[in-house]
Amino acid sequence: MSASAVDGVEIESGDGVLRITLDRPDRKNALDVAAVRRIVAALESAATDDALRVVVLGGRGADFCAGADWIASNAAGGRPRTGSLQRRTALQAHRLIELLTELQLPVVCGVRGWAAGLGFQLALAADFAIAATSACFWEPFLERGFSADSGSTWLLPRLVGIARAKELLLLGRKLSGEEAAAWGLVHRAVPDAELDAAVAALVERLAQGPTVAIGLTKRSLLRSLDAGLVEAMQGESFALELASRTADFKEGLLAFRERRAPRFEGR
């Protein structure tokens, strides 16, 4: 087990699990540029780390993440060159969301307290978000005077439909963890005191699964959102070809024949 806390983010890796913990509780774990870059680097490294089976994203203290830290991001002063925001966002917040969705490892997110703006989208981009019932999901963009970002206009309509996406983005409706689960925005909501245990149980289950097949299925699901049926099935056939060559595939067949639970090793 190894851990390091730098730039308000703790990165811990061991037993096949990469744990990314936002560690700025005094700022409700808002993410500045340095923190985003550190998480991006960790996820890029995870993409080629064969020892990993699952990624866990959480926040230290009372809140998950209050979004991007705009105060810190604009502390340098001076007017940036035209187009600066558009260029930087693609490499920072948007790159972070892209990695969470593209990474061929399951991502589990535990949410308590605030999940606002970018923090909201981190939960949406995870494969499984478990929220405390008292958590608060909020898209504050228009209330702050700027348009939505971090993939919200793509993620929300696909999860809850265009009408509810407009309610969240244009009217700024806040949702509790319980409401977010009822809307289908998160995997499930649990009482606050049970959040850590629920996340741990799901992480353990995923860490014992056929990692390659999980990653390929996740990739196929993402690609299918913008594909027709035939194209989606073509992608599935390529994924199946790869999955059928893994040791876990052979173990799954053997376990079926021997009428026992499989013992997958993630390879």
* Token pair of 151 as six digits: 């993939």
Section 127-151 average pLDDT:
94
The whole-angstrom separation of Cα 265 and Cα 267 is 6
Q: What count of other Cβ atoms lies within 10 Å of the Cβ of residue 173? A: 14
Any idea what the CATH number is for the domain that residue 150 is in?
Answer: 3.90.226.10
Q: Spot the catalytic one: 94, 127, 192, 226.
A: 94
Q: Do residues 46 and 92 both lie within one domain?
A: yes
Give Cα separations from 22 to 25, 154, 212 (angstroms): 8, 24, 27
Residue 57 has pLDDT above 70, yes or no: yes
Domain count, the chain: 2
* Residue that the structure tokens 């439909």 belong to: 161
Q: Tell me the pLDDT tens digit for each residue of 173-209.
A: 999 999 999 999 999 999 999 999 999 999 999 999 9
Q: Hey, what amino acid is at 264?
A: F
19/54 Cα distance (integer angstroms) = 9
Is the pTM for the entire model greater than 0.85? Answer: yes
Q: Is 266 a member of any domain? A: no
- Give the domain range for residue 237: 211-257
Residue keyed to tokens 């958590």? 135
Q: What is the pLDDT of residues 63-99, one digit of tens each?
A: 999 998 865 555 555 666 765 665 666 557 899 999 9
Q: Which of 7, 149, 192, 196 is catalytic?
A: 149
Q: Is 150 inside any structural domain?
A: yes
Based on the residue annotation, tell me whether 187 is a catalytic residue of this protein: no
Asked if 246 and 186 sit in the same domain, the reply is no
How far apart, in whole angstroms, are the C-alpha atoms of residue 72 and residue 51? 35
